[in-house]
Homo-oligomer: A and B are copies of this chain.
Amino acid sequence: MKKATMKDVANLAGVGVGTVSRFINGTKVKDSTYQKVSEAIKTLDFIPDETARGLKSSMTNTVALILPTIWHPFFSEFAYHVEKFLSQNKYKLYLCNSDGQSEKEIEYIKMVDQNRCDGIIAITYTDIENCISDGLPFVSIDRFFTHDVAYVASDNRKVGQLAYEALAQSGGRHFAYIGSHNEIKNRTMDRGESFEEAVKKENAPFSKLDMLEPVYANKEQIKAFLKANPDIDAIFAINDYEALDVLSALNELGKNVPEDVQIIGCDGMKMSVERDYIVSTIKQPIEAMAKCAVEMVLALAAGKEICKEQLLDVSYIKGRTTR
């Protein structure tokens, strides 16, 4: 049987379509008509067509999330929380894996103008500055565009500071930073820079390995670096993956962690609710970032003015790679 429309309901109930519409939208109607409409809806299995509603209201109750790949614990944890908060606001989520391709990112950004979604939350490292038009409800994560573009980030400068303090406190003497960076700048670069500054302020020995992405033979490069600098005993890695690679490299070189060398990563994703932290890490407030991003994008979609820059706090979590 074909899908019932409001007109069918109105006919069956013996009322006008307007009344059915009001019923649907919760406007008060007389008790007797309420009954009739309610019954007609039930017998016809009527479900309102959201496309038609959207055409009138030009609201979709949908937000698109653009990220490099959902197949990565940090992003999937973030996406989980984004969807959760959107859902609490009766919003749906479009998911976009950009794989770093700006064309796909742009395609999704266009969806706002296509009236397919009301706003965008994006974690992106590609060159899309000129696609972010002025009134676009767009929230950027961990990357600054201009003061007009809303963004939320963790306090990446504090990350380096905390990493240094934790390593120094547990006896680190020769510090190193290991990481990589993209040509397009984003705030994660601050992690290494602030770490370096903190070390140098104390005049402690410092080495660094900073690779340009895309990185090949990551672990081999790390091993070569560690061999060339055998005194290193306190390493800060740009993220937890890198930390795992460093851990693996050290093991292969016969060093003990954390006895000989300590490692701190960054992100602090849990992999799943019940798993322990393997590497010590500076934890990003992923859930808080998601909440903040959702609030901002919904406010922007509603045309509200908001504070466009949000820095969230980070914290040190001891795992098994520091003493």
Contacts and interface: CB of A to CB of B under 8 A. Distances in A.
Contacts of A113: 3, 47
Given A60-B51, A92-B94, A80 B69 contact: yes
A72 B80 CA distance: 10
A221 interface: no
A113 B52 CA distance: 12
A93 B79 CA distance: 13
Interface stretch (A161-169, A200-208, A269-277, A295-303): A269-277
A174 to B, nearest CB: 28
Given A51-B58, A80-B97, A95-B95, A272 B114 contact: no
- Copies of this chain, count: 2
Contact of A273 (B48, B71, B94, B111): B71
Contact of A95 (B83, B244, B274): B83
Nearest to A117: B92
A72 to B, nearest CB: 5
A116 interface: yes
Nearest to A57: B51
A201 to B, nearest CB: 34
Contact of A93 (B55, B73, B95, B271): B95
A76 interface: yes
11 contacts: A47-B113, A49-B55, A51-B51, A69-B273, A71-B76, A83-B96, A83-B97, A84-B97, A93-B94, A94-B94, A241-B275
